[in-house]
């Protein structure tokens, strides 16, 4: 049974989320401020965090920064009334896996929760339990520092580049369609006609080399084992 931490200081919303998630088979814990959210996340074994940005004691973006900085890799979905594009960009680039604005429909949030849990649990069991690194050939992805290491050289990766590379490295030699990559890295609400996957593959190739990620014409992309 998946355990979800709800960081929300508004009692009505927290109760609504808790009831809905429990009704769908999840175990929930509520944190009423930022400090409690950080302490619970670091001391217990949760599968996903729903994070409000307007928490008492500390801004939610700072909570996000601290948790990712401590090496926590479980999915984090920001759930907030802030709909400014700058806040959304800051959240996603800071390591959030998704961004949902209030008011929201619970059915949509539930679908996003299931999607993020499914993606995080798609790692091979040994890797998922170790939560340390993925390795394909000469390429290593450190899940704690969120950096790539290629032939001994560390490479910094912004949040979406990290998520895209993690997806590829979790499925080496498997051809991934653009639609699959959009779904796993950016969420199903992105325009399927967007070229954002191609743009970010280009970013990774500049950092890792042009031969690491192979284009499969008319289908998508594939990470080479020899990378």
103 and 130 share a domain? Answer: no
Domain that holds residue 81: 3-120
65 and 115 share a domain? Answer: yes
Residue 38's alpha-carbon distances to 11, 25, 46, 113, in angstroms, are: 19, 24, 12, 20
Q: How many Cα atoms within 13 Å fall on the side-chain side of residue 223?
A: 22
With H, G, I as helix, E, B as strand and everything else as coil, classify residue 46.
coil
Q: Which residues of the chain have pLDDT under 70?
A: 121-132, 187-193, 226-227
Which regions of 107-212 does DSSP assign to beta strands (E)? 133-136, 139-142, 147-150, 153-156, 176-177
184 and 142 share a domain? Answer: yes
Cis status, amide bond into 103, omega within 30 of 0: yes
Alpha carbon distance 96, 37 (integer Å): 15
40 and 99 share a domain? Answer: yes
Q: Are 128 and 89 contacting, i.e. CB atoms less than 8 angstroms apart?
A: no
Q: Of 76, 94, 120, which marks where a domain is finished?
A: 120
Which regions of the chain does DSSP assign to beta strands (E)? 3-7, 27-31, 48-51, 76-80, 98-101, 133-136, 139-142, 147-150, 153-156, 176-177, 213-216, 220-223
Q: Of 96, 120, 144, which marks where a domain is finished?
A: 120
Strand ranges across the sheet with 98-101: 27-31, 3-7, 48-51, 76-80, 98-101
86 and 173 share a domain? Answer: no
Count: domains in the chain: 2
138 and 200 share a domain? Answer: yes
Can you give the pLDDT at residue 45?
85
38 and 84 share a domain? Answer: yes
Which CATH number covers residue 171?
1.10.10.10
- Among candidate residues 118, 110, 119, the one with its CA nearest the CA of residue 168: 119
Q: Of 120, 146, 179, which marks where a domain is finished?
A: 120
> For helices 85-93 and 159-170, what crossing angle results, to 10°?
50
Strand partners, 29: 5
Alpha carbon distance 59, 54 (integer Å): 6
18 and 115 share a domain? Answer: yes
112 and 167 share a domain? Answer: no
11 and 113 share a domain? Answer: yes
Which CATH number covers residue 47?
3.40.50.2300
108 and 133 share a domain? Answer: no
Can you give the pLDDT at residue 124?
47
36 and 52 share a domain? Answer: yes
Can you give the pLDDT at residue 128?
44
Q: What is the pLDDT of residues 53-68, one digit of tens each?
A: 999 999 999 999 999 8
């Amino acid at each position: 049974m998946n355990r979800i931490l709800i960081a929300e200081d508004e009692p009505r919303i927290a109760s609504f989320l808790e009831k809905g998630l429990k009704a769908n088979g999840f175990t929930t814990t509520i944190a009423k401020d930022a400090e409690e959210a950080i302490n619970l996340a670091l001391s217990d074994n949760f599968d996903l965090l729903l994070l409000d940005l307007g928490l008492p004691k500390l801004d939610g973006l700072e909570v996000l920064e601290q948790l990712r900085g401590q090496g926590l890799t479980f999915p984090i979905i920001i759930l907030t009334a802030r709909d400014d594009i700058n806040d959304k960009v800051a959240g996603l680039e800071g390591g959030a896996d998704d961004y949902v604005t209030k008011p929201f429909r619970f059915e949509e949030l539930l679908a996003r929760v299931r999607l993020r849990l499914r993606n995080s649990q798609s790692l091979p069991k040994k890797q998922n339990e170790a939560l340390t690194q993925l390795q394909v050939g000469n390429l290593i992805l450190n899940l704690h520092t969120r950096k790539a290491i290629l032939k001994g050289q560390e490479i910094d990766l912004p949040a979406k580049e990290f998520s895209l590379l993690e997806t590829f490295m979790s499925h080496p030699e498997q051809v991934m369609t653009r639609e699959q990559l959009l779904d796993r890295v950016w969420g199903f609400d992105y325009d399927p006609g967007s070229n954002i996957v191609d743009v970010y593959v280009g970013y990774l190739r500049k950092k890792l080399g042009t031969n690491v990620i192979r284009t499969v014409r008319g289908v998508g992309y594939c990470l080479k084992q020899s990378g």
